[in-house]
Structure 1
Amino acid sequence: MKILIARMNHETNTFSPVPTPLAAFGVNGPTYDADAYAENLGGRTAMSAFIDLARAAGAEILTPVSATANPSGPVAQAAYDTLCNCIVAASDHCDAMMLDLHGAMVAENSQDGEGDLLERLKARHPQKAIGVALDLHGNVTQKMIDNADVIVSFKTYPHIDMYETGAHAGKLLLEMLAGDIKPVIAWERLPLMTHTLKSADQSPAMHAAIEAAKAAEQNGVLAASVLAGFALADIAAPCISVVTVGKDSASAQQAAHNIATLIWESREGFVYTSPPLADSIRGAKDMSGQSRIQSAECGNPQGPILLLDHSDNCMSGGTCDTMDVLQEALAQGLNNIGVGPLCDPDAVDQMAQAGEGANLTLRLGNKRPLSSLGIVKEPVTLTGRIKRLTNGEYIISGPTYTGLKCSMGRTALFVCGDLELVVTERTHEPWDLGVFTSVGLDPAKKDFLLLKSRMYCRPVFFPIAKGFVECDSSGVTSSNYALFPFKNIEHPVYPLDPQTQWPA
């Protein structure tokens, strides 16, 4: 038996000005064939689980490509075509396919990146089974449902069950190939655009939906997935979905409908309302004077207050260079602030030329025009010292992407009194304390830590923090949908249209 195993991941923010060429997929572009296999062997991705299952089954394994890019703007046509053509060509030489996809890819030439790929594969090989692992934030489409035999998505956000999801999807596909099951997929999509901050698996409404999915699996459904969707993709329906895999159509459809009904009844719980930025910073300032930790999630009463700049989060397509939160923090007199990572390649280049120890006046941040939102900002002028220059590499300690080597590009630690900024060449999620410690900054010793992050920082930074404040402003990952000029959304949809009914 020959099994094709491939990875093609991208969450597309159609409003993001950050480009997505082929080179964006991976540290130095995608990996192919033996390199793709080696990159995922022993890892914690869904593709890693597929490889382990195929090896255990004694199958011959084809790994034509492994490609994952940080969320950003629409995937370049040349990049999308290259990745899809690579997978489609390899499909001629296999008996079945296991695909590690995201579910929210939009390309310059495709509004439905995954659906169009699956349609090509199924049209070319209608008898070959296809199993798919998806991200929890996938925007499920009819093409995905029609052209896959098994679909399973993550149940955690932050995503720490990527491997387990691959194992689940792969196991079902192998059982199908062995003739043990004949899986049937059912799907319910709701007219509900969720906010990413409300899609965390511990957020009450999402938690209840995921628990219902787990209960369905315990009661005979082969797989039940709740996909929150990714609303910053301006497509017809970037909405929450329920996908079930069952032994028969009736039970699968009933399970999907039951979970969807639960979601709709708690739809307000999937909507996040941002307080004004000034109020958020004021709350952080008040919290800093307290001697106790804010919540059970936080673990250090002497630690920093985290300022989570979710309006400029690179893992939702942010530029990582907006300065609104820092400007408001400085205006309100916050001291001893650590910032990072701030993406400003021009500033990094100037610092690299000046060298460690040099004093410099820089125009920092606010350099990528947010044209899709009609917003132009001015850089902030700061004078300070270049304390450290590095290649920006570190190893993630976990729990997400444990052991993965990361590169922020050339990186500098710029110090302006007690304000310390980690400035990078690349947009980068603060996955790990290594974002700071790799350049000699101890984040636990700051009073405030400004993170360009929404969710992934939490498992690592909350244990060293006293508390946190979610900060929203005018960036391309803002939770304020009023900022976004949606053109392709099908109406009515909640919460854009508060009177939306379901079923219609």
Structure 2
Amino acid sequence: MARIAIAGFLHETNTFAPGTTGYADFQARTMAGMMRGAEMLQNPKFPMATGGFIARAQAARHELFPILWCFAEPGGYVTAAAFERIAGEIIASLAANGPFDAVYLDLHGAMVTTEHDDAEAEILRRVRAVVGDIPVVNSLDLHGNIGDGMLTHADAMVAYRTYPHVDMRATGERAFRLIEALLAGPPLAKAMRTLPFLLPIHRQSTFTEPCKSIYEALEKLEADDPDIASMSFLPGFPLADIPMCGAVVLAYGKSQAAVDRAADELAALINSQEAAFEPGLKTPAEAAKLAFGYAGNRSMILADIQDNPGAGGTGDTVGIIEALVAQKVPDAIVAILADPESAAKAHAAGIGATVTLDLGGKTVPGQKPFRTEAVVEQLAEGSFALTGPMLGGLTSDLGKVARIRIGGVRVVVSSARTQCNDQDYFRHAGIEPKDHKIIVVKSSNHYRADFQPLSDAIVEVAAPGACDMNPANLPWTKLPEGLRLYGNGPAWKRP
């Protein structure tokens, strides 16, 4: 039986997003909030990687020492104060409560702070300095931006293999298997391959090609070679202006020759599919016109992918809403528009009231609110359960929530910001998604897990937002010279 310390500190940082991410954001309960100690062990259905790791470690009768787990909605730079407070608590607990036989860390891989371009590398460096030469393994989000620092300080890293991320618990289980292998045997050989182009987020879904086949090939490479312990492909998070932004392949195994061979083979396969990773999107007006004429048997989904809070978007831009209203689309539902001011005004007016709102458009430079009259149809407040494939087992609290109607367009307006990746965000406001012809979600890909089964057509829309899906449009300063900005796109040159 081994004594294993566990901690989680997750953030996906969009360095182009307005504002910063502070300590209070890691305490917010749009997902799990901040947990400490035994609280981390109390939810057997916890759908994150930590939940899977805990279940496997407890079944194997290891002694777990849980420290802290927290997650903040993706957004701007993590402040130095927040980073030092949370990382400092983890490091202090490791120092005060050791020795340990191993450490498991649930990290994202794309955290950027005002002090550290590669924040997870700094976390791992500090952990290693305290615990010494014992196995340190971390799980990663599929969107991690991985550099040499993380590769050096971790004995092994393993990433999600699905986007939407429906294998988070399974990833924690894979991390547990790596810790057991390291406890039982010698260190693992490791290899990393960096790809020469950025992959736009909306082209990374494992529900569609080419990523579906790429991950199938990854699993076959891992399964067919007994010398390979683990492989990961991280398409990266292309909204972070840092030197290590981009896609990588990771391989761990019994010999350097084996991991080099596997990493090279998978990287070559991905490079052969480069042409598939170009942006290609509809404008809001084009999408609204398609919605107006839609005659399918099931719903059409319009994905507002550039205002996705799951990638650092503010969740309050109104480009699609304005286009749907202008097109007089008769039956559309939209979630989730983060606008505390409008939510509060609807609550004050009450159900049945007609209110004049300056809807959204308050946080992204260059955007402005949509002034409109709306009918307040439903009000909600407090926590509610999520039941979808990705986050089922968690509860969410969006504060004051209102369902408003503008002509045939119904909008779920909330006080808190989160992406719409679960049908229960609509149900909380009294809407059953399958009963409506047009479903609009502020999400880049995670919506597919719960919403795609409802749909005969999906349209990805380039409405204004803080998550520009074409990396060539972004004001880069730190990328490696020559990195192509999307599949077969222009190579970045330092200004």
Q: Same fold (TM over 0.5)?
A: yes
- The aligned residue for residue 15 of structure 1 is 16
In structure 2, what is the equivalent of residue 351 of structure 1? 346
User: Aligned to 1:357, what secondary structure does the other structure show?
Assistant: coil
Once the two structures are superposed, the pairs formed by residues 332-351 of structure 1 within 5 Å of their partners are: 332-351=327-346
- RMSD of aligned alpha carbons: 1.9
Residue by residue over 1:75-103, the C-alpha shift from the partner in whole angstroms, topping out at 9 and shown as x without a partner, is: 12111112211221222312210111111
Q: 1:38 aligns with which of 19, 28, 42?
A: 42
Q: Corresponding residue for 1:298? A: none
State the secondary structure of the residue aligned to 1:214. helix
Q: Distance in 1 between matches of 2:102 and 2:403?
A: 49
- Gaps in structure 1 of 5+ consecutive residues: 293-300, 371-375
AA at the equivalent of 1:132: N
Aligned-partner SS, 2:42: helix
Q: Does 1:434 align with 2:424?
A: yes
Contact 1:185-1:244 within 8 A present in 2 as well: yes
- Match runs of 1:21-420 below 5 Å: 21-28=22-29, 29-39=33-43, 41-92=44-95, 93=98, 94-179=100-185, 181-218=186-223, 219-220=225-226, 221-286=228-293, 288=294, 290=295, 292=296, 301=297, 303-370=298-365, 376-420=366-410
Displacement of 1:224 after TM fit? 0.7
State the number of aligned residues.
482
Q: 1:274 aligns to what SS in structure 2? A: coil
Counterpart in the other structure of 1:295: none
- Equivalent AA in structure 1 for residue 16 of structure 2: F
Distance 2:69 2:124 in 1: 16
- AA at the equivalent of 1:21: G
Distance 2:133 2:472 in 1: 46
Q: How big is each residue's C-alpha offset from its partner over 1:353-409, in whole Å with a ceiling of 9 and x where there is no partner?
A: 223333211110100033xxxxx1221111122222211532111210212111122
The Cα offsets for residues 230-251 of structure 1, whole Å up to 9 and x where unpaired, read as 0001111311100001101111
The offset of 1:351, in angstroms, is 2.0
DSSP-derived class of the 1:104 partner? coil
Match of 1:470 among 460, 483, 487: 460
8 Å contact kept, 2:328–2:408? no
Distance 2:351 2:329 in 1: 27
Per mean C-alpha deviation after superposition, the further-off stretch among 23-32 and 214-223 is: 23-32
Where structure 2 has 5 or more consecutive residues not aligned to the other structure, the ranges are none
Change in 2 beyond 3 A, CA 1:77/1:499 = closer
**What letter is aligned with 2:215?**
I
Letter in 1 for 2:395: K
Residue 314 of structure 1 aligns to which amino acid in structure 2?
P
Q: How far apart, CA to CA, are the structure 1 residues paired with 2:436 and 2:124?
A: 48
**Contact 2:249/2:267, CA 8 A, preserved across alignment:** yes
Amino acid at match of 2:429: V
Tell whether the 8 Å contact from 1:273 to 1:479 is kept in structure 2 after alignment.
no
Residue 449 in 1 paired to residue 450 in 2?
no
Q: Tell me by how many angstroms 1:499 deviates.
A: 6.4
TM-score by length of 1: 0.91
Cα distance, 1:156 vs structure 2: 0.6
The whole-number CA distance in structure 2 between the counterparts of 1:358 and 1:280 is 30
Q: Distance in 2 between matches of 1:18 and 1:283?
A: 34
C-alpha separation between the residues in 1 aligned to 2:264 and 2:456?
41
* d(CA) in 2 for partners of 1:459, 1:384: 31
Determine the C-alpha separation between the residues in 1 that align with 2:114 and 2:40.
25
Q: TM-score, normalised by structure 2?
A: 0.93
Distance 1:487 1:308, change over 3 A: same
1:492 is aligned to 2:482? yes
Structure 1 residues 353 and 278, CA gap change in structure 2 (3 angstroms) = closer
Distance in 2 of aligned mates of 1:190 and 1:384: 48
Deviations 1:100-158 (A, max 9, x none): 11111111221111111111112333312101111111101101100111111111111
Deviation at 1:345, TM superposition (A): 0.7
Specify the SS of the correspondent of 2:245. coil
AA aligned to 1:100 is D
Distance 1:201 1:468 in 2: 15
Distance (whole Å) between structure 2 residues aligned to residue 211 and residue 18 of structure 1? 38
**Structure 2 residue matching 1:128: 3-state secondary structure:** coil
Contact 2:234 2:247 in 1 (8 A): yes
Verify the 8 A CA contact 2:45 2:393 in the aligned structure 1: no
* Structure 2 SS opposite 1:455: coil
Secondary structure of 2:210's aligned partner: helix
**Counterpart-to-counterpart distance in 1, 2:331 and 2:423:** 17
Contact 2:26 2:71 in 1 (8 A): yes
Residues 271, 495 of structure 1: 8 Å contact kept: no
Residue pair 2:251, 2:259 contacting (<8 A) in 1 also: yes
SS class of match (2:333): strand
**SS of structure 2 residue aligned to 1:193:** coil
Partners of 1:62 and 1:90 within 8 A in 2: no
Task: Specify the code of the residue in structure 1 equivalent to 2:190.
Answer: I
Over the matched positions of the two proteins, sequence identity in percent amounts to 30
Cα deviation code 1:18-76 (max 9, x no counterpart): 5311121243552111223325x442221112212322333221111010122111112
SS in 1 for 2:202: helix
What secondary structure does 1:468 align onto?
Answer: strand
Instruction: Quote the offset at 1:285 in angstroms.
Output: 3.1
For the 8 Å contact 2:325–2:408, the answer to whether it is kept is: no
Residues 202 and 352 from structure 1, CA distance in 2 versus in 1: closer, same or farther, beyond 3 angstroms?
Answer: closer
